[in-house]
Every structure is written in C-alpha cells, then in structure tokens.
Chains A and B, each alone.
Chain A
Amino acid sequence: MREVLKQDESFDAAIARFVGENVTYYQTRFKQIFSGQKRPRPNFAALLLGPIWAAARGMFGLFVVLALIEVSLGLAITGVASGGLGKAELVQSQQLQARSDSRRDQALKAQAAGDANAPDLLRSADSLAKAAQQAKTSADQQQRLASLVISLCGAALVIFRVLFSLSADSFYAKRFEKWRSNRQISSGSNIIRAVLALLVVTAVFFLSLGKVNPELPPDWLAAISKQAEQFSATKDFAVLVTKSLDELFSAITRAGGPFFDAITLSITSIVNAVEYALNLMPWPAVVVVIVGIALLLSGHVVATFTALGLIYLVAFGFWTQSLATIALLGTATFLALCIGLPLGIACGKNQSIYRAIRPVLDLMQTMPAFVYLIPIIAFFGTGKTPGILATIVFGMPPVARLTALGLQQVPENVKEASAAFGATPWQLLFKVEVPLAMPSIMAGVNQTILMCLSMVVIASLIGAGGLGEDVLQALQYASVGQGILAGTAILFCAIILDRIVQGRRTS
C-alpha cells in the first residue's frame, strides 16, 4: 500500500531503484527504448550469461524458456560429439555380424558333416551379413552427418544467444513498466537467484546426459537414473490400493444389499410405469398427444418439428425403442432435476456449500462413465436402474451449477429492496430470486436433458435397452447406415424433449 503511494519519485530515481546495479547504463537504455529508438544494442551481461542473467534480474519466465532451448541445444551437441549419433546402428551392425559369423560356422560344420540344411544355414548367414553391412553403412552415414549437426546446433546456440542479448534490454524495460505499478515484482540483480538458476541448469543438463548417450554420465549418475526409472515402473503400491478398494466396495455391496435393492425396486417401478403408460395407446394417438402438448406449450414451429421427428421414429421402426428411451431418460432427467435444482439453490444461497459441492460436481462430469459404471453394477446389477443412476451422475451437474450461477447473479439491490419491504426468506427465494434466475435455470435444464440423452448408448451397455441398443449393435457389426439412423433417432428424441420443456421462453 505504502509502496504504491510513493510514486512521485523521478523517472531516473525509479529506474535506479528498479535496476539496482549498472544504473547509468539502464537509465540511458530505458530512455532510448521508451523514446522509440529502434536500433538494438547488445546487453553484454545477457550475452555472456544468457538465462542466468534473466534469472538474476528476476525474470523467471524468460529464464525457463531460455534455459529449455539452450540446454536442449547443448545436450544435442554433447550427445552427437560423443559419438551418440549412429551409435545404436553401429552396435546393431556388430551384433548382426557376430550372429552371421556363428551361423556361417554352423553351416560349414553342417557341410562338413554332409547335413541337408547346410545351404539354408549358409543363406541365412549371408542375409545376416548383408543386414550387418546395411547397418554399418547407415551408422557411417550418420557419423558423417554428426559434424553437420554439431555445427548447425552450435550456430543456432550462438545466434540465439546474440538475438537474446540484443532484445534483453527491451524485455527488462517491459519488466520495469510492470514494476512501476506493482512494487511486489522483484527488482535489482540478485546473486542468489543467479546461483540457484545455475544449479538448476546444471542439474537438468547432467541428468539428461544419459538419454542422449548412455556412455556419457558417470556410473553413480547412471545408477540414480536407473533407480528412478525402476521406481516409476513398479506398481506394488497401486496393486495394494487397488486391492483394498476392491475389498471396500464388495463390503459395501454386501452390507448395503437391502438398501440397494430398495432403490432398484423403486426406480424400476417408476420406469416401468412410465413405459407402460406410453405403450398403452397406439402410436398415432401418442403422436397426436405429444404434438398437441408441443403446440400448447411451445407454438406451431416446435409442434411441426415434433410431428416430423415422431414420424421419422415411426417410419424407421424405432417407435418401441424410442418409448423405452423416453421412459428411461424421462425418469433419469426428472430425478436429476429433483436432486439438482434444490442442490443448485443451496449452492447459490450459501458459498461454503458451493465450495464443498463443486469438486464433487467436477468429478461427476469429468470421471469417465465407464469408471463409475463398475461400482454401480456392483451395487445395483445390470438393467434399467443402474443405467438411470449412471445417467443421473452425468446429467445432474449442469442444472445444479447453472441454478447456483443464476441465483448468484440476482442483483443485490433487488434482494435488498425485497428485504426492505419485509420479504421472508421463502418469499425472497420464490418471488424474487428463482424468477430472476429462470433463464439460467432453464439453460441448466436444457443441458441436463441433452447430457442425459448423450448417455443412452453407455446406459444400454449395461442392459438399459432403448435406442442405445441399436447404436451398440451397429457398432458391433460396423454397420454405418444403421448407426446413423439410430443416432438420428436419439437426436430427435433429445430435441423434442428439450423444446417442449423450454416452452415459449425464446419468443
């Protein structure tokens, strides 16, 4: 605070305070840069030290970029110079030659013994010798290339360093501009930072040497690298945790059996009831009812579209499957909204609840469905209920999130006015906050419906049935046509459901 207030110091004094050392040099340079002088001049400290200079001056981002480039080039040069290039081919060629020689010995012995396979052995030895010769040529070629690579990389290193030293003052001037408004930014030149940077660069360089040429690093360093690689390759720890997780879940399955059965029963009965109701009438009657609802709720455009979509479903023989899908996803969406809306309201009203819930919502959306399908199958078996539960897990977060967001965006002054007129917390919620958050909430409902529908295929994997099954079959037999038709049917179901639920909001 006090640092910022002290801004009346002169320009020269500010630069002096910022650079710490070499004050006069930077004062002239900064003035040249800020007055638009384009002609670059090399900064000798930067030319000499490169990334170390950047680190000493506190520009760590610049240091990382510079160090990465220069260390990579340096490693390449070292590796090539120590004969790393073509080394693998040379070794291969020697091995091949050895095998060819031994084969030839066998062949000669066989010949001497009058064996029938002697010519075969001889031919094999010849081809091995040929391969060895090819590898040798390739190695020679690469070794001849080595000098070229070294000179190119060396030139790149030098040019890069020179270019950097030419622009170093400009980078530093930019830094000075930032520092003027934010005095927290490190200033001056610091030997400790330089030493640390040097240590980092050296360590990275030597630890990476083994990768460019296995013969280069000393034995102890090679041993360390080997240990590190072995550690990352062992899975003992993972196996241990996996086992205990398995045990935990089977324990839950055993202990919660009646509980899970009750959930399965109640959800299955809801879905079956919905499906039964949908199947009660012949398809023309259902089409008329749905189009009628669309007309009432969402106007003639949506109704027309709905009619076309339904006729598509009938015409391509997806009717029964579609009803099953609608029953399944209708139930899933309904349950997702029943959980998501109150959750979203709680999150919108209370920041600490939101902070606690948010990672869970993130997890539900990012965790691949197949991962939570496994415990769900363990708990609930296969069929419709686990399909619905998996769908809820994936579909519920958007409506909770967008409801919370909508509530948070209700203007503070409107809430205050409501309080000033004596609104109770419930009145505030249902007469002010929810109506004002409605657009956001409806966007959440839309997202939830679409997310739920995107789960049909995965749900049908565990026997939930419906249109997803057609897609799955198409996948198994690689039949493109059937896949496209079934996929389109899912799309129509989704759009019809969503447009009817959204109502006339857009008009």
Chain B
Amino acid sequence: MMNASIQRDIAVACAGVWKVFGNEASAALDAIQRHDLNKDEVLAKFGCVVAVRDVSFEIKRGEILCIMGLSGSGKSTLVRHINRLIDPTSGKILIDGEDIGALDSRKLRHLRGTTFGMVFQNFALLPHHTVRDNVAFGLELLGVDKLPRWERAQSIIDQIGLKGWEDRYPSELSGGMCQRVGIARAMAVDPSILLMDEPFSALDPLIRRDLQTLFADMSRSLNKTTLFITHDLEEAFRLGDRIAIMKDGQIVQIGTAAQIVSNPADDYVADFVSGISRLQFLKAAHVMEPLDEGTTPTTINRERALVFNYNSTLDELVNVAARGQDTIFIEDEAGMIVGRVTKQNLLSAIKEHR
C-alpha cells in the first residue's frame, strides 16, 4: 500500500479503466472479463466496441506522460476519461486522490473549470469570440468579471506570442496561431493538470516543432502535470518524462524513453522503436568494458587518465574520443573506477545501436 506522502505526489491515477461502447456495454464487459474475448468476438457477439481495456497508470505531480498509439488505439477516448467527458464502463480515476466518478455534476463542472485545461487536435475555438475572449473563455464560464479576465488573458497571450492578435477572430488566424490560442485558453485558468489531445497533429512540421518547444518550456516552468496524447513517437520522446504505448485499448508498455528503446516489452513496441536511433539513450555504462582481471582501480593513475561518470551520454564520450583520447575510464556513483571505454568500444556501440 502506498503511504500518504507518495499519494500526495500522484496527481492523476487510473485504476483498471475499461470503456466499452455500445448498447450492451456492461454485459459485453462481463463476458470479456470472464471469457477473455478479443475485440472481433465482442463486436460479433454484442455489437460493442472495446475502446479502453483495463488501463492503469499514475502521473506524478509536474510530470509529463505521453500516451503514444496509432489511430484507433483508444488514446483519445482514454484522455476524455481523465476529466470525465466520458464515463468509464468500469474502473476508477483519481484526481489528487479524489475519485471523480463519485462527483455530482456541479462539483464535476467546478473541477473541470479549475483543475483541468484541455487542448484539442482540431483547436475547437469559438468562432464568434475574439482571441482574447477565447483565451478568457474558461474564466468567463467561472463567472469572472470582464476586466480581470481580460487582464489574465492578456498576460497569457503575451507569454505565448500572440501579442497584437487579441482582437482578431479565429477565422483570421493560421493553424499554428489557432493552437497557440488553444494552449493559452487551457493555461488561462491556471489549471494544475493539462490534457493535450494530439494538439500538434494537425500542424505542419516546422510549426509543430516551434510549438513543441514552446509547450515544453511553459509546461516545465509552470510545473503542470500533463497527459499528452500523440501518434508521433518522436514527439513523445521529445516531450514526455515517461511514455505509455497503447495498442488496441491496452497500455503495452510504460516507462522512460531509454527503458522503452533499450528494452521493448514486445514485438509491437520493438517494431515501433526500431526506426528510432538508440544512440541518444546510450550511457557510458552500456558501452564500457569492465576492467581487466588484476587491474584494480587503484593502479590507474587518476591524474593522467580521463574519468567520466557512468551516466555520461554517448555524445560526451564521442566528443572526447574525437579529440584524440584513446581510453576513457568510467567511475560509478561512489567514485570507484568500474570500467573503460576505448574508441573501439564506441564504434561497435554505434554500429550496434544506430
């Protein structure tokens, strides 16, 4: 059992969430759990679609969790469970330790208005509102008066780089700008949790990269807990502290980028990450060779040898080797020399992992 202090660190927790769409959803769920039907059998027998299949995960406060999956994998359905736009067929969602399934509609609306900010793939801006009023929309719904909400909106607009566009309408904006408005609208209520539903998928690659950088900076500086949905593996690796890979409504693997790349859970994940260069996740510990028998750490002249920590990245080691250093010694956390890296080690690691 987790103790209270850990629980306070968990912002979002999903426990055994199932979502079955269809008229006989609960009967279908019962049959699935009892007989372990696959999705084709469920469709044939009950006319129901299984969108989310026994998903459990936790997001720590301030963490960015990316959920990565192809279209139809249930990721967009899953994110809508977090603020209960969709009710789960079974399972629990805890926000700051509170079960949101138990909230009445008034409390739920309050939670949505104050705790969550959501950004959508297709922007979903209000066409009859200006940029300023779109950004202030969440505050408007909370009943904040015009002047204070305009002030708040202005500060977000300035931060996000839309100064000068406040009085324009969404139809006058480019896609990239629209999504800036979308992000600003989500940030305006100063939510503790951001839900990003494929926010950059509809944008062209250059703008996407700009907005990824902007978002990463803002999210970290404001320390927002974020659930980020994407179908783009590179985006997930770039933004996520941890990544969950979803397939057919299930999370097949969850972990850091390095964990997923170096140790894929199954063929599906392996296939997915095979296109990704592993070099950026290699650490000195992975490429070093242990010291020869008999060569005790103490015999090495620490004055003349170059010593790196075993968490150093491959990049750092290559930089040193390129300057002419033949052997690099690796020490562990306690300062003990545990191995060495030669140019040969580096080259064979690159050959193996590229």
Chain A residues proximal to chain B, CB less than 8 Å: 411, 413-414, 416-424, 427, 431-432, 435-436, 438
Contact = CB atoms under 8 A, between A and B. Distances in A.
B137 A421 contact: yes
B124 A413 contact: yes
29 contacts: A411-B124, A413-B120, A414-B124, A416-B85, A416-B120, A417-B124, A419-B85, A420-B85, A420-B195, A421-B113, A421-B137, A421-B138, A421-B141, A421-B185, A421-B189, A422-B109, A422-B110, A422-B113, A422-B114, A422-B138, A422-B141, A422-B142, A423-B109, A423-B141, A424-B109, A431-B140, A431-B141, A432-B126, A435-B126
Contacts of A427: 141
Contacts of B118: 417, 420-421
B122 interface: yes
Contact of A436 (B85, B109, B114, B127): B127
Interface in B124-158: 124-128, 137-138, 140-142
B141 A420 contact: no
Given A414-B126, A427-B141, A436-B127, A422 B120 contact: no
B112 interface: yes
Interface of B is mostly: mixed
B83 interface: yes
Given A416-B85, A427-B141, A431-B140, A421 B112 contact: yes
Contacts of A423: 109, 141
B138 A435 contact: no
B116 interface: yes
A422 to B, nearest CB: 3
Nearest to B143: A427
B116 A420 contact: yes
Nearest to A425: B105
Contacts of A435: 126, 128
A133 B109 CA distance: 97
Closest 5 CB pairs of A and B: A422-B113, A417-B124, A422-B112, A413-B124, A420-B118
B140 to A, nearest CB: 7
Contacts of B124: 411, 413-414, 416-417
Contacts of A420: 83, 85, 112, 116, 118, 195
Contact of B122 (A413, A421, A424): A413
Contact of A417 (B120, B140, B142): B120
Contacts of A411: 124
Interface in B272-301: none
Contacts of A422: 109-114, 138, 141-142
Contacts of B111: 422
A436 B128 contact: yes
Nearest to B140: A431
A435 B127 CA distance: 9
Interface in B96-124: 109-114, 116, 118, 120, 122, 124
Contacts of B114: 422
Nearest to A421: B138
Nearest to A423: B141
B93 to A, nearest CB: 15
Given A420-B83, A422-B112, A438-B128, 11 more contacts: A414-B124, A417-B118, A417-B124, A420-B118, A421-B185, A421-B189, A422-B110, A422-B141, A422-B142, A423-B109, A435-B128
B112 A419 contact: yes
Interface in B141-186: 141-142, 185
A417 B126 CA distance: 9
Contacts of B138: 421-422
Contacts of B128: 435-436, 438
A413 B195 CA distance: 15
Interface in B185-219: 185, 189, 195
Nearest to A412: B124
A424 B113 CA distance: 10
A97 B265 CA distance: 110
Contacts of B85: 416, 419-420
B152 to A, nearest CB: 14
A441 to B, nearest CB: 13
A431 B127 CA distance: 12
Q: In this complex, which of B85, B122, B138, B141 has the most chain A Cβ atoms within 10 angstroms of its Cβ?
A: B141
A412 to B, nearest CB: 9
A468 B185 CA distance: 55
Nearest to A414: B124
Q: In this complex, which of A417, A419, A431, A435 has the most chain B Cβ atoms within 10 angstroms of its Cβ?
A: A417
A411 to B, nearest CB: 7
Nearest to B122: A413
A23 to B, nearest CB: 33
Contacts of A432: 126
A65 B24 CA distance: 46
Contacts of B110: 422
Nearest to A415: B124
Contacts of A418: 137, 141
Nearest to B115: A422
Q: In this complex, which of A416, A422, A436 has the most chain B Cβ atoms within 10 angstroms of its Cβ?
A: A422
A419 B138 CA distance: 10
A416 B83 CA distance: 11
Contacts of B137: 418, 421
Nearest to B108: A422
B133 to A, nearest CB: 10
Nearest to A417: B124
